[in-house]
Structure 1
Amino acid sequence: MLIGYMRVSKADGSQVLDLQRDALLAAGVDPARLYEDHASGRRDDRPGLAACLKSLRPSDTLVAWKLDRLGRDLRHLITLAHELTGRGVGLRILTGEGAAIDTTSPNGRLMFGVFAALAEFERELIVERTRAGLASARARGRRGGRPYKMTPAKLRLAQAAMGRRDTGVGALCAELGVTRQTLYRHVDPGGRLRPDGERLLRHRRGDERMQGALPGTGGPEGDNRHG
């Protein structure tokens, strides 16, 4: 049986599910088997997705319009797909970058394996680059921030490292120069952002936008000249 899931980011009516619903119905999903959410993909409390996952039975296939309708990030999607496979449930993506994923077919499973390998490769690159940056800072007498302070660079490393089974929390805290309390205030044991972590990255993006808007910094007013 095909089970469909749809999501839009806003609940204020400015976004609609019509395109996703039409695609899922065209793929053969029964209208009575459609689940939906009006929430950001980064939120954990998505009742529609929770109900959808609970309804799945062995031999069912979960169908979504695009990969980003389902998960918070690629790692979350891969974890979800592995969990579904363990339950005997298939996953099919209709369009977008993951359109070749269909874990009910050999070719679709192959493409999913490629996506999983790329996600692991990306995670390893993040870990390697951040550790190299911290080591370079220590060699110059810097710790990459005040003691026990989490920075965006450290947070990215923490996200990548906490998603790995072989990561020792104590060693990671020593590497980052933060306490366990600081680490767990920003990320959970699976590497997902907690409210403090989301605020840190949100503030960083806000600072970058403000710098870009200042005259002389490359923003829209930075090239104003008189005469």
Structure 2
Amino acid sequence: MAVFGYARVSTLDQNLDSQKDELLKYGCSKIFFEKASGKNLARPELKKLLDSLRENDVVVVYKLDRLGRSLKDLIELVNDLGVRKVDFVSLSDGIDTGTAVGKLMFHLVGAFAEFERNIISERTKVGLASARARGRTGGKPKGLSAAAQKKAVRAKELYDERKLSIDEICKVLEIASKTTLYKYLKFENERLEKVKR
């Protein structure tokens, strides 16, 4: 049985020392140090840790949020450890899946997260149904603002003149990207088609 620690900070200028001290105090024989955002999918040290694990090993973190990018990811990760017969300990959260109470605590956290997701989903469905009953539909409103429509007209004129490049048209009209310009051109072409009908 080996006890592995995992310590992570989000930015390069943050310090790992306090996490390291707590993990050593707990008795970790090896600690994997990561300087990466929790949202970053590429966390090579976490991958090394997971690849090193054997049955009856223990993974220790100072705090739950050091391990997972979100509660969903955290629950999946800890459940995966459970399937591999690896215990999980979060020091500051008082969770130790090697004990019956620790397992219960972690499952309660997961159950509450699932409950919260279901409540949000239910409220969203009720809200959309209520809006539909009043003749409104969800989603982003279609079309362009009045200012954008004017830009679309001018963009089409400049595009049809073929004197300026796409980049130059964007610059002249202060359009942020080529994608936006093409959206304007599409909008104006569709508007003109409707006028012809």
Shared fold (TM-score, shorter chain, > 0.5): yes
**Aligned twin of 2:26:** 27
Distance 2:117 2:18 in 1: 33
3-state DSSP class of the match of 1:114?
A: helix
Runs of 4+ in 1 over 6 A off after TM superposition: none
1:57 aligns with 2:54: yes
Distance 1:140 1:20 in 2: 54
What do the CA deviations read for 1:108-145 (whole angstroms, capped 9, x no partner)? 11111211111111111111111122212212222212
Distance 1:146 1:111 in 2: 40
**Aligned twin of 1:200:** none
**Aligned twin of 1:84:** 81
Paired residues, number: 141
Distance 2:8 2:140 in 1: 40
3-state DSSP class of the match of 2:74?
A: helix
**Aligned twin of 2:123:** 129
Distance 1:48 1:138 in 2: 49
**Aligned twin of 1:9:** 10
Report the CA distance between 1:147 and its aligned residue: 7.6
TM-score between the two structures when normalised by the length of structure 1:
0.60
Which of 1 and 2 has higher RCO (CA within 8 Å, sep 6+)?
Answer: 2
What do the CA deviations read for 1:70-129 (whole angstroms, capped 9, x no partner)? 00111111111110000010000000xxx2311111111111121111111111111111
Gaps (5+ residues) in structure 1?
A: 149-227
3-state DSSP class of the match of 2:73?
A: helix
What do the CA deviations read for 1:152-190 (whole angstroms, capped 9, x no partner)? xxxxxxxxxxxxxxxxxxxxxxxxxxxxxxxxxxxxxxx
| Range that drifts further, 86-95 or 137-146 | 137-146
**Aligned twin of 1:107:** 101
Pairs within 5 Å for 1:38-49: 38-49=35-46
Distance 2:73 2:62 in 1: 17
Query: Could you say which structure has the larger radius of gyration?
Result: 2
Distance 1:60 1:147 in 2: 53
3-state DSSP class of the match of 1:143?
A: coil
In structure 2, give the amino acid aligned to 1:60.
D
**Aligned twin of 1:162:** none
3-state DSSP class of the match of 1:58?
A: coil
Distance 2:100 2:73 in 1: 22
- What's the % identity of the aligned pairs? 50
